[in-house]
Amino acid sequence: MRGNFNKRPGSGFNSGSRSSAYGRGFGRGGGRGRGFTGSRIDESKFINKATANNKAVEYAPTHEFSDYAIDQQLKNNISEKGYVKPTAIQDKAIAEILEGKDIIGMADTGTGKTAAFLIPLIDKVIKNKKEKVLIMAPTRELALQINAEFRDFAKGLGIYSAAIVGGGGMREQIMQLRRGCNVLIGTPGRLKDLMERGHIGLAECRNVVLDEADRMLDMGFINDIKLILGKMPQEKQVLLFSATLSREIETLSQSFLKNPIKIETKLRDTSSNVDQDIIRVGMAEDKTEVLHNLLIKENFKKVLIFGTTKMGVERLSNNLNARGFKTVSIHGDKTQSGRQLALKLFKENKINILVATDVAARGLDIPEVSHVINFEIPKTFEDYVHRIGRTGRADKKGTALTFVGGKTAAKDSASSGAGRSRHFSSRSFGGGKYR
């Protein structure tokens, strides 16, 4: 029997009359920008050599997946996905979540965080089909990726999910809710919209995950999150995962988590598998021309380029296409189907350059990215960490390059000879002009 988040009378979630307020926008799943007020990032943070052996010390887990008291079919699905031994975050979190404890988790990107909360929560639903789970994520792409991973783990188990994200068809999402689901995965803005319209009730939902919580707060979702959590029962299990523990995160955890277990498996700010350097661009130089001269090099096989604005990303993508590169873009102004198609083409190597805003910076698992290029400097160092985490995955080496310019770059170009070619290096940030 499917669970039901629909608030129709008789569904068990009818906690109020249906709202008819339709004045709110639908497309907020990609986030609402908040003005950047942080300090400028020190350029030296963009320079770091990958470790010589390109491989971190292997983690020795205290558990095996076979050790957990979870459903056997779920164990089979875990094995079918190729999971052999738990990662650090999985090893430390799964047992605590199975015991019903609240969690604050911090882990390096690409370390299996999604499975760390999905596995025990799926088992919880298997053992009691009346259980309902809400998972909130900052971007449509991350929410849809979590949904895809849920379906892999839940295959053949008779439990179902619904993905509720901005940019997708609202009618179709309402139909998913009416069919019933045990697990609801979505972005805060669209979840709130459908709650206000009377399609989602959370009065009996006692499990919630806040994934990439710091990013959701950066995107201005704090009030939506508080409203949504306030509609849930007081007694609930709350799992919060965040790259940082900011003051806002601490305040949120104090309000909604009870005696949380803090789990931190972050080894370092950035991956040891990623060579990081800067590209100095003089005041008189065309950044796109410098980028062009990089992309034509043979080793730039699969490149993810980050910009900061939707308009700038689209303009750069069109410019690169006009220059003969196979390029697609992804940003908040594209339709959901357009964003999904762009990711699909990039993942399947149909195109080799993806130009994106930070909607592609968090959580997405895109194989074989050879280079991440920060065409524009990210707003925060945490954003930088997540951007470059799209390369150097699965023990493979990657490269991250960050364009820097301004007066310092112009001064350096004048002193070193404009137009001369130098290989980037990991010396102090005077070196690194690569054309």
> The domain that contains 381 carries what CATH number?
3.40.50.300
Burial of 196-225, coded b for 16+ CB within 10 Å and e otherwise, reads bbbbbbbebbbbbbbbbbbbbbbbbbbebb
Same domain, 118 and 242: yes
Alpha-carbon span 83 to 66, nearest angstrom = 11
**Residues 297 and 255 placed together within one structural domain of the fold:** no
Taking only the tens place, the pLDDT of each residue in 415-428 is 333 333 333 322 22
Confidence (pLDDT) at 5: 77
Q: What is the DSSP letter of 48?
A: B
**First CA to last CA across the chain, in angstroms?**
60
The pLDDT value recorded for residue 359 is: 80
Contacts of 376 (CB under 8 A, 6+ apart): 306, 307, 308, 312, 403
Q: Which residues of the chain fall short of a pLDDT of 70?
A: 1-2, 7-39, 50-57, 109, 266-272, 363, 394-395, 406-435
Clarify whether residues 212 and 287 are in a common domain.
Answer: no
pLDDT of residue 163: 95
Domain boundary (205, 229, 264) is at 264
Q: Identify the domain boundary among 239, 264, 289.
A: 264
Q: Give the count of beta carbons closer than 10 Å to the beta carbon of residue 235.
A: 7
Residue 42 resides in a domain = no
What is the predicted pLDDT for the residue at 184?
98
164 plus 219 within the same structural domain = yes
CA–CA gap between residue 307 and residue 375 (Å, rounded): 6
Q: Which domain holds residue 113?
A: 56-264
Residues 239 and 285 in one domain: no
Let me know whether 410 and 305 are in one domain.
yes
Question: Would 225 be classed as within a structural domain?
Answer: yes
Task: Examine residue 421 and state whether it is found in any structural domain, yes or no.
Answer: no
Q: 232 lies in a domain?
A: yes
Q: How far apart are CA 353 and CA 321, in angstroms?
A: 10
Among 234, 264, 294, identify where a domain stops.
264
What pTM did the predictor assign?
Answer: 0.68
239 and 381, same domain (yes or no): no
Quickly list H helices, 309-431. Answer: 310-322, 336-347, 381-388, 407-416
Is residue 114 included in any domain, yes or no? Answer: yes
Q: How many Cα neighbours within 13 Å face the side chain of 122?
A: 30
The reply to whether 20 falls in a domain is no
Same-domain status, 232 and 166: yes
CA–CA dist 302, 296 (Å, integer): 12
Residue 3 lies in a domain: no
Number of domains in the chain: 2
**Tokens found for residue 103:** 């969690």
Statement to judge: residues 247 and 288 lie in one domain:
no
d(CA 88, CA 112) in angstroms, rounded, equals 9
Per-residue pLDDT, 1: 56
Burial of 389 from C-beta contacts in 10 A (0-12 / 13-18 / 19+): buried
| 295 and 248 both lie in a single domain | no
In contact, 50 and 72? CB cutoff 8 Å: no
Task: Give the tokens for residue 303.
Answer: 């490149």
In a domain, 403, yes or no: yes
Residues 279 and 393 in one domain: yes
Q: Please answer whether residues 356 and 329 qualify as being in contact, where contact means their C-beta atoms are separated by less than 8 angstroms.
A: yes
User: 217 and 308 in one domain?
Assistant: no
Tell me, what's the pLDDT at 175?
93
The span from the CA of 374 to the CA of 390, in Å, is: 12
